[in-house]
Amino acid sequence: KGKIAVLTSGGDAPGMNAAIRAVVRTGISKGYEVYGVRRGYNGILNREMDLLTFHDVSEKLQHGGTFLFTARSAEFREEEGKKKAAAICKELGIETLIVIGGDGSFTGAKNLSKYGVNVIGLPGTIDLDIAYTDYTIGFDTAVNTAMEAIDRLRETSNSHERCSVVEVMGRSAGYIALWCGIANGAEQILIPEKFDNNYDKLIEEIKNNRASGMTHQIIVNAEGIGHSYGLAKKIEEATGIETRATILGHLQRGGSPTARDRVYASVMGAYAIDCIEKGKKNRLIGYKEGHVYDVDIEEAFQMTKSIDDYEYEVAGILGTRCEYK
């Protein structure tokens, strides 16, 4: 029927394997040849790809990471790289390229589509920072991993009556921090979308909380704000409360995907093939209001999304002693 290639690009995210598996199995069942490209866009430029069978994607669903490997390709970022990639796809007879990745990977896909390759994107990033979709592959697992880690930190922080600054991932987005803030009952959350750099106010709140009888405090700090060690030092110096910083880092990117990440990634992978079956071109797949859907890639790039104000407000109310409001 035709040739499809699938790749993962950018930061890996738990559930990417489930998405690849769904693309491969649905593709085969509908009569396509599905090629797995290794190491992101580099794999096209270097012709690193293999025809995948139904069996090749067995025992992958339950594992984090991506068995196709991933990369951020400097060569592909250049216009010449995209032209070369499109020419290779044409030469190999690959009509559609399915890209599982984040915003940066989709920018690459959008530009590649201008050279005649049909591209379909699946949102894969733990950051949740893709405007057109309410859900991204890996976010649920990452948040649960971070939540469990912060529960542990709270126990030791409590025992020592300390303040803990915990840095969670999210280069320029505070979704993981916001969710952990609520899920872990953090006393404060610092996210790039909202934090006004008013450290004096933050320190005042920490002091007030302590004065009101809080024996320990958790401050969830998004990577986008960063400087967690410096912040811990500042808090300790200003409040006299022993403070420790922990950066959770890449451990948030690994681990067996949650049921939600497995199911949504599988549904989106299958849906990508359905889009091809319907002759759709250059679409991004996502979830909106609980349902899988697809949107034109150009249109998707016009969309914006922001942190839910109400969720942020709730996090604040639940974290700070109301006696001091």
Give me the residues that bind ligand F6P (CB under 6 A), please.
Answer: 11, 102, 125-127, 169-171, 223, 253
C-alpha span between 20 and 26 (Å, rounded): 10
* Contact in structure between 210 and 241 (CB atoms under 8 Å): yes
- What are the CA-CA distances from residue 160 to residues 114, 243, 244 (Å)? 58, 10, 11
For the bound state, the minimum distance from the C-beta of residue 129 to ligand F6P, rounded and expressed in Å, comes to 8
Tokens 């020592």 label which residue?
160
Continuous segment of H or E residues that includes residue 243 = strand 243-247
CB of 265 to ligand F6P, least distance (A): 16
Q: What are the residues whose beta carbons fall under 8 Å from the beta carbon of 38, sequence distance 6 or more?
A: 7, 48, 49, 68, 69
Least distance to ligand F6P, CB of residue 177, Å: 11
**Residue 253 marked as a ligand binder:** yes
What is the chain's length? 325
Q: Which is nearer to ligand F6P, 32 or 139 (CB)?
A: 139
Residue 170 counted as an annotated binding residue:
yes
State the Cα–Cα distance between residues 204 and 194, nearest whole angstrom. Answer: 18
Q: Which residues are catalytic?
A: 127
Alpha-carbon separation of residue 83 from 79, 112, 122, 136, 156 (angstroms): 6, 7, 22, 29, 54
Instruction: Tell whether 73 is in a known binding site.
Output: yes
105 is in an annotated binding site: yes
Residue 116 among known ligand-binding residues: no
The residue to which tokens 């790289």 are assigned:
81
Q: Is 250 annotated as a binding residue?
A: yes
Taking CA atoms, 104 is separated from 65, 72, 118, 295, in Å, by 18, 9, 18, 17
Please, which residue, 39 or 216, has the CB nearer to ligand F6P? 39
Residue 58: both structure tokens together: 């067995």
How near is the Cβ of 127 to ligand F6P at its closest, in Å? 5
Contact 233, 178 (CB under 8 A): no
Of 171 and 305, the one with the shorter C-beta distance to ligand F6P is 171
- H or E element in which residue 245 lies: strand 243-247
Q: Is 171 annotated as a binding residue?
A: yes
Q: Does 11 count as an annotated binding residue?
A: yes
Looking up tokens 């992101």 gives: 40
- Kind of pairing, strands 33-37 and 3-8? parallel
Rg of the Cα trace of the chain?
22
Our CB check for ligand F6P shows the closer of 38 and 210 to be 38
Closest CB 81 distance from ligand F6P, rounded Å = 19
3-state secondary structure of 29: helix
Looking at beta carbons only, is 96 or 133 nearer to ligand F6P? 133
Sign of CA dihedral 193, 197, 201, 207: positive
CB 215, min distance to ligand F6P, A = 31
Q: Which is nearer to ligand F6P, 43 or 124 (CB)?
A: 124
Binding-site residues for substrate sit at: 125-127, 162, 169-171, 223, 244, 250-253
Binding-site residues for Mg(2+) sit at: 103
Binding-site residues for ATP sit at: 11, 72-73, 102-105
